[in-house]
Amino acid sequence: MLDPNLLRQQPSDLAARLRETRGFELDARALESLEAERKQIQVRTQELQNLRNTKSKEIGQLMGRVTRFNAEEDFDQADFCLSQVEQIKAQVAGFGDELKASEERLEAIRAELEAIALGIPNLPHASVPVGSDENGNVEQHRWGTPRRFDFKVLDHVELGARNGWLDGETAAKLSGSRFTVLRGPVARLHRALAQFMLDLHTGEHGYQETNVPLLVNADSMRGTGQLPKFEDDLFSTEVGESKRYLIPTSEVPLTNIARDTILEAEALPLRMTAHSMCFRAEAGSGGRDVRGMIRQHQFEKVELVTIAKPDESYAEHDRMTRCAEVVLEKLGLPYRRMLLCTGDMGFSATKTFDLEVWLPSQDTYREISSCSNCEGFQARRMLARFRNAAGKPELVHTLNGSGVAVGRALIAVMENYQNADGSITVPEALRPYMGGLEIIA
């Protein structure tokens, strides 16, 4: 969520920035009208509340005098005070309906303003290039040279199908489209990738391994920006009156660990990693990437999340992206780093680097990791703060990144390490996790 002062004080300027950078249309006039009404009704509501409190105090004082006069058996004075109490109660009743209506309207306006604020994307950092889609992204650097094959390259679906390792038909029978059953050494290779990534991030990169729930409440989804805007892309479950959401990424529970919390400065940066299942309805993906494991309803990721001080968050962003790059380098997978333009960034991000891995079957690079700095956007929703040098609570900055997507790493390993006979060479970094196995065939 953006700073409310931007919406209140600079709605027109904010609307222009959002239109130019995000292609997002903010109705500044409607916002200004709501804000003006809010101020007017809030002033009147406070006046009526103050009047009610004053009258309640007068009633209390008069009732005290009634008690005293009755004790003194001065019943005439007691009756006089009681008559005054009834007059004041009549006055309170006279403006009570207006006060109730004002309070209800004020609450409705606040809810409307909050709904508008929750639907506004984050503002891009000044270093982010302006663009409308992925064509505006800027390549930062490349690592590795794509392998040249002297035989026909197969994609991961063909490689997996030859030995029954990758089975989409059985998965469709069990669950429908965009699910996959893995068997044998490919299932083991998938598990090995996740273990390798966790060991690397915890042992060499200083992230704390964290096991998180796969079901979270609406507050957690709202805190990281999935709700209310992306509800159609989420899977949810209801038991009785309790509704929970299956996480689209472990960024959600990891980041929300800091929700409604004031952290000590010494605890930052707080670096966490988790291997988890992820669930996405892919409501807006149309018919893209329906073949194989590129875009699934259920997949696995090793996620990186950092809670940082504001003046350290961009150094942490570079560090996090580098941690994800090391995964690909140790696996020997060619990749490139892309700086996303304003129109291709995620809703909560202010700056994002994507890592794209080389897929021989497609003769192109495909996204395998996305590392974003959200600055205070999520923290403001979550009330996630730290105690600064002055001892005052201040919003933290939140960062998240894939370190990396396990299924897509499996695809990249299968395709880049394939052999002419359909076997797959196991990258050296994974052999300790495969019992020393060098080739799966």
Is 12 a known active-site residue? no
Half-sphere exposure of 107 (CA within 13 A, CB side): 6
- The answer to whether 312 is a known ligand-binding residue is no
Grouping H, G, I as helix, E, B as strand and the rest as coil, residue 273 is strand
- 250 assigned binding-site residue: yes
d(CA 32, CA 11): 7
Does 367 appear as a known binding residue? yes
Cis check for the bond before 11: say yes or no (omega within 30 of 0). Answer: no
Please report, for residues 195, 367, 378, 431, the alpha-carbon distance to residue 192 in angstroms, rounded to integers and kept in the order given. Answer: 5, 21, 33, 9
Indicate which residue of 188, 222, 244, 280 is catalytic. 280
Catalytic residue among 102, 313, 348, 370, which? Answer: 370
Q: Catalytic site residue 175?
A: no
Separation CA 173–CA 155 (nearest Å): 23
- Whether residue 441 is annotated as binding a ligand: the answer is no
Residues 125 and 138: their CA atoms lie apart, in Å, by 15
Q: Rounded CA gap, 373 and 226, in Å?
A: 16
- For 325-375, the DSSP string reads HHHHHHTT--EEEEEPPTTTS-TT-SEEEEEEEEETTTTEEEEEEEEEE-T
Q: Which amino acid is at 53?
A: N
**For residues 415 and 411, what is the distance between their CA atoms, to the nearest angstrom?**
6
Of the listed 58, 367, 423, 431, which one is catalytic? 367
Residues 291, 361: Cα–Cα separation, whole Å: 12
276 backbone φψ class: left, alpha, beta (φ>0; ψ -120 to 50): beta
The response to whether 249 counts as a known ligand-binding position is yes
What SS3 class is residue 94? helix
408 in catalytic set: yes
282 assigned ligand-binding residue: yes
Q: Which of 52, 183, 259, 295 is labelled catalytic?
A: 295
The answer to whether residues 306 and 210 touch, using CB atoms and an 8 Å cutoff, is no
| Catalytic-residue membership of 295 | yes
114 labeled part of a ligand binding site: no
Please indicate if the annotation marks 53 as binding a ligand.
no
Check if the beta carbon of residue 438 is closer than 8 Å to that of residue 430: no
**402 a known binding residue?**
yes
Contact 308, 316 (CB under 8 A): yes
303 annotated as a binding-site residue: yes
Closest to 296 in 3D by CA, of 411, 401, 192, 135: 411
Place of tokens 């709202």: 222
How many residues does the structure list for the chain?
441
* Contact (CB, 8 A) for 69 and 83: no
Known binding-site positions for L-serine: 249-251, 280, 303, 400, 402
Known binding-site positions: 249-251, 280-282, 303, 367-370, 400, 402
Q: Which residues are catalytic?
A: 280, 295, 367, 370, 408
Known binding-site positions for ATP: 280-282, 367-370
